[in-house]
A and B are shown apart, each in its own frame.
Chain A
Amino acid sequence: MNTVRKAVRNTDGPVIEVTDLRRVYGGGYEAVRGVSFEVGRGELFALLGTNGAGKTSTVEVIEGLAPPAGGRVRVLGHDPYTERSAVRPRIGLMLQEGGFPSELTVSETVRMWAGCTSGARPENEALSLVGLSRRSGVRVKQLSGGEKRRLDLALALLGRPEVLFLDEPTTGLDAEGRQETWELVRKLREAGTTVLLTTHYLEEAEGLADRLAILHAGQIAVSGTPAEVTASQPSRISFELPVGYFPGDLPPLDSLGVTGHEVVGRTLRLRTNELQRAATGLLVWAGQTGVELRGLDVRSGSLEEAFLRIARDVSERDARAERSPRPGNPEDPQNPRDSKNPQNPQDSKNSKNSKKKEHVA
């Protein structure tokens, strides 16, 4: 859909390159198992995923907060961990939870960060970008959750970053604040900022992202443009079977392009990749037969559908894992390669042995 723009902007190679990224926590838990993707200049790439899918674990490595256990990451052509001084001045980032001293005012917080940021915007510019100008004299502890998120965003934008990392930027915002943040992110992208976004909100990804990937158990389950991901999902038709009718009374489902069906009580659910053909065939049959299809619901595949299907796979797999001692899903190509690196317990939340290996000096 935006191949033209991408073709123009990709001339100087991807801004973010992730190749076979792995991340292993102290206890040996492999949170990221071979993730690869690229983000071109000016592109907005969204990472979606169920809880614990590895979104934050992945993003932390790309941000240079932790070294990978395996694989390769390049941001603006540099290793974000070992060459951080080349990368940090050119990126801006927002963590899931901001960390600001509660007793400083908004203005003092911005000034403190400005003193630590190359090419920082003036304070009033940074605050007016996120609509916090009038709150500049207020202590951080008195800000609402949404205002704290916006302060966090202002600091991420302080150095006019070429690459912006946003980890759930609109969590805690009301509908209006969310719209404003989306508008700002759109403007930034139009001005050429590359954005890597993680989010829980599917509409956020669908509305903002040029491309997206859905993570599942540390691997990318689906990726592509929102349209591609949506198109890969089957469409659905459901209705109540008319009284006295059975599925066998319908025209042969194959001939309608239906790929699967299930009956729940009186409700028949059909899955198809050819929604128009299936729906037409069904409605023509209903018209000719003179029956009413109560509760008729026809919907194309959606991102939500894709997401839910992946989430369902997770819970089915968990259920199977509980029944059988063998962990893992046979349909799920998780080959736990030997990348358990005990020397690499970088970890933010998973193990008691959570000691950073990074050096202080």
Chain B
Amino acid sequence: MSAGTATGTAPAAPTVTAVGRMTSLARAELTLIARSRATFFAAVFVPLVLPLSVRSTVEDMDLKAAGLSVGSVILPSAVGFSLLFAVYSSLVSVYAARREELVLKRLRTGELRDAEILTGAALPSVLIGLVQCLVLTGVCAALLDVGTPEAPLLAVLGLLLGLVMWPALAAVTASFSRSVEGAQVAAMPLLLVSMMASGTVVPFEVMPDRLASVCELLPLSPVITLIRGGWTGNLSAYDALAAVATALAWTVVAVFAVRKWFRWEPRR
């Protein structure tokens, strides 16, 4: 076996691309998620079960007056739960766990760039979230008579914005913890606030106006608004733009915070 190096020959140009590197990392990360039963359960089953528990509450609401149906409330909520649990919550654990195991530190010594490390590690969760959203949409369409989306582009845009924003928020959250358990605690506030006040359980349309206008600024809210609007077709261009702007603003703030505060090594 030769222990030789490339000495004497011209230095080889880099042969791996950013996409190749991230794919390689993502594949390993997917293996890890599949092997971690707790993460897998939380990511895959919680978002599938939660919408069912919401259903009875929603059916008691006076939705007709707001121009909503049970389906158009539950479907965006289901997508929201998927983003919260399959993407956000599980990624907070992943980032914290890789940091505490010194994996992030070691990865930074190679050819991977920082953004590639965070993106590559996020890809499996984003993929799970995406598949889950599609499955949930199919299930809702089959069982709840949601009908066809009036403005499908808005719904797609909402989902895509969510799939970019929530990994970034997960990285920010992971920065404010010292351990995997601590990371789960750090994820709770945003998780709870989003579940209660982002229009998932209680639609903005049935909230008092003033409360609704504050809640619409939460990070999950624009995603819910766009997806619900995509289905009902009731969203004005102004409201749609406001939602997109809110989502972009959260994403930009999150990316900025990650660049400034993300911790790549455990605290000692």
Contact = CB atoms under 8 A, between A and B. Distances in A.
Contacts of B105: 95, 99
Contacts of A118: 12-16, 111
A335 interface: no
B210 interface: no
Interface residues of A, number: 52
Interface in A68-92: 76, 85, 88-90
Interface string A107-140: 0110111111111000001001100000000000
Interface stretch (A186-194, A200-208, A215-223, A233-241): A186-194
Contacts, number: 143
Contacts of A63: 109
A104 B107 CA distance: 15
A116 B265 CA distance: 20
Interface of A: 41-42, 63, 65, 76, 85, 88-90, 93, 95, 97-104, 108-109, 111-119, 125, 128-129, 157, 160-162, 184, 187-188, 191-193, 348-349, 354-356, 358-361
**Nearest 10 CB-CB pairs, A to B?**
A115-B24, A99-B102, A192-B7, A99-B106, A112-B28, A191-B4, A187-B3, A360-B259, A118-B14, A116-B21
A162 B114 contact: no
Given A188-B3, A360-B118, A103 B32 contact: yes
Nearest to B175: A355
B31 interface: yes
A54 B8 CA distance: 33
A103 B36 contact: yes
Interface of B: 1-8, 11-16, 20-21, 23-25, 27-28, 31-32, 35-36, 98, 101-115, 118, 255, 258-265, 267-268
B102 to A, nearest CB: 3
A349 B1 CA distance: 39
Given A98-B102, A162-B5, A359-B259, A119 B35 contact: no
B265 A348 contact: yes
A336 B16 CA distance: 43
Contact of A113 (B1, B104, B110, B115): B110
Contact of A162 (B11, B108, B260): B11
A89 B111 contact: yes
A119 B5 contact: no
Contact of B35 (A90, A95, A103): A103
18 contacts: A41-B7, A65-B108, A95-B109, A99-B101, A99-B103, A103-B36, A104-B28, A104-B31, A111-B24, A114-B24, A115-B20, A115-B25, A116-B21, A118-B12, A160-B5, A162-B7, A162-B11, A191-B7
